Amino acid sequence: MVEHYPVLLKQVVDLGLELDRFSDLLDLTAGYGGHSQALIDRFHPKSVTLLDQDAYAITKLRQKFATNQAVDIVQQNFRYYPFEQRQFDFILADLGVSSPQLDRAERGFSYMDPSQKLDMRMNQGQVKTAVTLLSELDQVELASILRQYGELRFAGSIAKDIVDYRQNQPIVTVGDLNQATSKYWQAKPKVQGLIYQALRIAVNDELAALDQLLVHAIEALRPGGVMAIISFHSLEDRKVKQKFREYSEAKLDIIGRELAPAKARLLTKRPIMPSKNEIVNNPRARSAKLRAIIKTKNLPS
């Protein structure tokens, strides 16, 4: 199994230097603890809350931080976190699929092992899997997923071939899906990854969860606190960019008078991206984009 390398690690840690205080850390997608460990080592927060919905990641986090009494580990999708209950100085979300998730073939995230069952659940406790979608959704619904989440131009044709294939045999394994869609990705290999991306997003309802994070997490950010989000595809990055821009602009009436001040200031007018050296050492970092805001102090209540 390939080791999981935290993406943009130095850049994330450097954002902590923007804080007047660094007492409380919330990592909404803690994974294997790489980002959080680096932040703990540099800033020594008094309280650290680590969330992840993946049971395997939770096991690794508990092992990693077993002796750190400041760390609270919670198995939960961040969309269900009670943001209204407390505030933090630094909130981090790394939206990517981790290397261990991709490299454990039985998780069904990757198209590399044709013998594995199509699973794709980040939370192994949920019922819906990729097999469920591929067996129950009709052609129009499948095309919508492929078009919306994979941004695939030939989504309708791909969906038709999937439906035609399953009339003869169910699509259960990675090999089944690869064979059903082979004429598309053999001509354009990138298409294969986009098909899997689209199904993974649909299985885990990732974009709806991100929408909820972007609406509610700002309330859990202490004035003067930093929120940083790492995304890995344009659908996520577009949402983060738009919401962060919204938070950084004052609300005005029709003649330009200020109705409400900006909630935050952009720390990244353009996304921070990996260096060439990081991409060489960790090719999966190549599409990462880091955006961050700092919450405005002295906002009216």
Q: What is the block-wise mean pLDDT of the chain (301 residues), using blocks of 10 residues?
A: 76 97 97 96 98 92 97 95 96 78 56 84 86 96 97 96 96 96 88 94 95 96 98 95 96 81 95 96 91 88 54
**DSSP run (H or E) holding 289:** strand 289-295
Q: Long-range CB contacts (< 8 A, 24+ apart) of 13-21?
A: 13/38, 13/39, 13/42, 15/90, 15/226, 15/228, 15/267, 15/292, 16/42, 16/43, 16/90, 16/226, 18/226, 18/267, 18/294, 19/43, 19/89, 19/90, 19/224, 19/225, 19/226, 20/224, 21/89, 21/224
What does the alpha-carbon distance between residue 212 and residue 229 come to, in Å, rounded to a whole number? 14
pLDDT at 77: 93
Q: Where are the domains of the chain?
A: 9-94+207-295, 105-204
| Partners of 94 in the β-ladder | 230
CA angle 300, 93, 49 (to 5 degrees): 80
CA angle 128, 133, 134 (to 5 degrees): 140
For helices 206-216 and 190-204, the axis angle rounded to 10 degrees is 60
For helices 190-204 and 139-150, the axis angle rounded to 10 degrees is 110
CA angle 143, 148, 154 (to 5 degrees): 50
pLDDT at 209: 95
pLDDT at 161: 97
Strand, helix or coil for residue 109: coil
What does the alpha-carbon distance between residue 210 and residue 231 come to, in Å, rounded to a whole number? 10
pTM of the model: 0.90
Residue with tokens 């001040």: 261
What does the alpha-carbon distance between residue 296 and residue 274 come to, in Å, rounded to a whole number? 28
Other beta carbons within 10 Å of 44: 11
pLDDT at 254: 83
pLDDT at 1: 40
Instruction: Please give the DSSP secondary-structure letter assigned to residue 173.
Output: B
pLDDT at 88: 98
Strand, helix or coil for residue 29: coil
* CATH of span 105-204: 1.10.150.170
Second-level CATH architecture of 9-94+207-295: 3-Layer(aba) Sandwich (3.40)
What does the alpha-carbon distance between residue 229 and residue 135 come to, in Å, rounded to a whole number? 34
